[in-house]
Amino acid sequence: MQPLIWDRRPDGLRAPAMVCAFEGWNDAGDSASSAVSFLAGALGAKRFARIDSEDFYDFQSNRPTIKLDGRERREIVWPGVEIFEATAPRAPRDVVLVQGVEPSMRWSSFCANLVDLAEALGVQVVVSLGALLGDVPHTRPVAMTGHASDPALLERLGIGSSAYEGPTGIVGVLHAACADAGLPAASLWAAVPHYVAAATNPKAALALVRRVEVLIGVSVDVSELESAATDYERQVGLAVQSDPDIQAFVERLEQAAETDEQSSPAEVPSGDAIAREFQRFLRQRGRER
């Protein structure tokens, strides 16, 4: 069986851009996957293909799940990647969206399949999204970094180029595969406060969506995501105010953000301790409602 399984062949895509995100290591606060999911919903995207999970996943690490259908029949849902098309009538191009779980193995073959798909569809630019944990305060605009295969793409992003060296995920491998194949490619990364790592971060997802809009020239109504981001910031703010140590820590991060200096880790509570306190606070708030 071929890894790429077609539901149907999309016709007439106009200079499409491919936007990709993967759950897992590349996706702090579910920010990147949430951004692509939001784009899919906002644009009315429809699935046209998927990648067979058998060749690329360790099912002991990414286990399939069981769900019941409307007739109470049990169904196995396998981890994998789905591919959608979306028409943007008032934009100069259409969009191909790739979303799913980061594969466990055979990354080169996995990326080669996506590159082949992009070439077959006439994709003009591939944008991969990621999110990382950082020493950033939740009260400031989301810090963004990125890199691109073309200096003009990087200039259009309007963000600092990443100088990161170290371990990478499927996002980094896919970006390199696209660049090697001569496909214009850009990678966008949002920084997520490490002290709220366990919470879904709509503020970072919103920042990624807005950058994607600028980069590919497709606009969507983000009012729902803006509302979620505002509520997120309010909830985190309440959690921070409930503990003087956490509040002092966030204030130091804010000062560091303003002066572009690093706070001393020895002077602040650990990220794990703060994350535990935040989760305790959210559980308590849930019982009070």
Q: Please check whether residues 82 and 161 belong to one and the same domain.
A: yes
Percent residues over pLDDT 90 in the chain: 60
Domain that holds residue 281: 227-288
Most confident among 145-149, 197-201, 206-210, 276-280 (mean pLDDT): 206-210
The answer to whether residues 25 and 127 belong to one domain is yes
Query: What CATH number is given to the structural domain containing 142?
Result: 3.40.50.10900
The answer, as to whether pTM is greater than 0.75, is yes
Q: Across residues 200-215, what is the average pLDDT? A: 95
Which of 25-29, 146-150, 173-177, 201-205 has the lowest average pLDDT? Answer: 146-150
- What are the tokens at 142? 């989301």
What is the per-residue pLDDT for 266? 37
Residues 96-140 have pLDDT tens digits of 999 999 999 999 999 999 999 999 999 999 999 999 998 899 999
pLDDT score of 167: 86
Q: Is the pLDDT of residue 264 over 60?
A: no
- In this structure, are 255 and 156 located in the same domain? no
| 138 and 266 share one domain | no
User: Final residue of a domain: which of 197, 222, 247?
Assistant: 222
Residues 279 and 209 in one domain: no
pLDDT of residue 171: 94
Same domain, 193 and 259: no
Higher pLDDT, residue 87 or 275? 87
Residue 32 has pLDDT above 90, yes or no: yes
Task: Tell me which DSSP letter residue 196 carries.
Answer: G
Neighbours of 7 (CB within 10 A): 12
Tell me the average pLDDT across 168-179: 94
The pLDDT of residue 28: 94
Residue from 109, 151, 104, 153 nearest 127 by CA: 153
What rounded mean pLDDT belongs to the chain? 87
Predicted confidence at residue 261, as pLDDT, reads: 44
Amino acid at 171: V
Name the residue with higher pLDDT: 265 or 47: 47
End-of-domain residue from the set 222, 240, 258: 222
Greater confidence (163 vs 9) lies with 9
Average confidence (pLDDT) over 73-82:
91
How many domains does the chain fold into? 2
Residue 259 has pLDDT above 80, yes or no: no
Q: Would you call 143 helix, strand, or coil by DSSP? A: coil
pLDDT value for 246: 82
Helix axes 170-180, 107-121, angle to 10 degrees: 50
Same-domain check for residues 27 and 155: yes
Residue 278 predicted with pLDDT over 60? no
Q: Are 256 and 194 within one domain?
A: no
Q: Write down which residue in 193, 222, 251 finishes a domain.
A: 222
Do 65 and 153 lie in one domain? The reply is yes
As a three-state string, the secondary structure of 24-57 is CCCEHHHHHHHHHHHHHHHCCCEEEEEECHHHCC
Number of Cβ within a 10 Å radius of residue 88: 21
Q: How far is CA 10 from CA 15, 105, 132, 241, in A?
A: 13, 28, 33, 51
Assess whether 231 and 263 both reside in one domain.
yes
- Region of poorest pLDDT, from 12-21, 67-76, 177-186, 213-222: 67-76
Q: Are residues 256 and 126 in the same domain?
A: no
164 and 242 together in one domain: no
Give the C-alpha separation, 172 to 153, whole Å: 17
